[in-house]
Amino acid sequence: MTLVDSHCHVAEPEFDADREAVLARAAAAGVGTLVCVGATGPAEANAPTVALAGRTTPVEIVATVGIHPHHASTADDAAFEVLRRLARTPGVVAIGETGLDFHYNFSPPAAQRTAFARSVALARERALPLVVHVREAHADAAAILTSEGARDVVIHCFTGDRTDAHRYLDLGFHISVSGIVTFKNADSLRDAVRSIPLERLLVETDAPYLAPIPHRGKRNEPAWVRDVAEAVARVRNEPFETVETATAANTRRLFRLT
């Protein structure tokens, strides 16, 4: 079993100059699969991510399509038609990232709630898993996921505490941990990571953002999901291979990768 980066944005322009080298470094680091997440602008901005879906060398790439909470104010009927169409492309395995970000509020909260609820409904309609981004909105996000009947959910780049984690775990959801777990001031996150059942745990880079220590401040890349998994293994006091195998199997099961 090889490592899986359950959430990265390798279609972004940050990788245009050296994408092939980035993918080769991921493969060399033992990363076998990347879940490449769209949702970096209006609905049409998912197209470059979808174009990468279905690659198998040097790493397997699958894609998700969505509208990020930052861009929720663009999520009109036409945008959802674009998502619906893109979601039918082979290699597109999930809807997202969607959710609520009340830290930045780049889109008004009301628009975020509406776009999030519609995205959950789209995932349900297409029977696809859902990639969810939540910042400073855990209670609201859990309420919408519950009322919209969400299933097969991953809360990506989880930054909450043990109580927040268990709110999602009690609903049957998965939790993905990013390089933030390596940051000095992340003690409450590390406490939460210790309490997540192994079979619900995923790891991710969220590249090009959030490079883990010892790469902090640089452009992040999928090869460094190894640093994230190593940190998670240390925090949980488990062998690296245990975390590597379990997080890869969990990601494959959640996104129904064969």
Q: Which is nearer to Zn ion, 183 or 240 (CB)?
A: 183
What is the nearest approach in angstroms of Zn ion to the Cβ of residue 37? 5
Name the closest residue to Zn ion (Cβ).
Answer: 133
What distances in angstroms separate CA 154 from CA 28, 85, 122, one per listed residue? 27, 23, 16
Q: Answer yes or no: are the C-beta atoms of 143 and 116 closer than 8 Å.
A: no
Q: Please state, in angstroms and rounded to a whole number, the distance separating the CA atoms of residues 196 and 236.
A: 9
Distance in Å, CB of 238 to Zn ion, minimum: 26
Q: How far is the CB of 242 from Zn ion (least distance, A)?
A: 26
Nearer to Zn ion (CB atom), residue 10 or residue 235: 10
**Which two three-digit tokens encode residue 162?**
């043990």
Q: Decide whether 60 or 206 has the Cβ nearer to Zn ion.
A: 206
Instruction: Give the nearer residue to Zn ion in terms of CB position, either 49 or 182.
Output: 49
Q: Which residues bind Zn ion (CB under 5 A)?
A: 97, 133, 206
Q: Are 202 and 228 in contact (CB under 8 A)?
A: no
The C-alpha atoms of residue 181 and residue 204 are separated, in whole angstroms, by 11
Place of tokens 């049409």: 44
Of the pair 206, 244, the CB lying nearest Zn ion is at 206
* Choice between 5 and 206, CB closer to Zn ion: 206
**Residue 14 CB, nearest approach to Zn ion (Å):** 13
The Cα–Cα gap between 21 and 230 comes to 23
Task: Provide the minimum distance between the beta carbon of 206 and Zn ion in the complex, in angstroms, as a whole number.
Answer: 5
Report, in Å, the least distance between residue 83 CB and Zn ion: 16
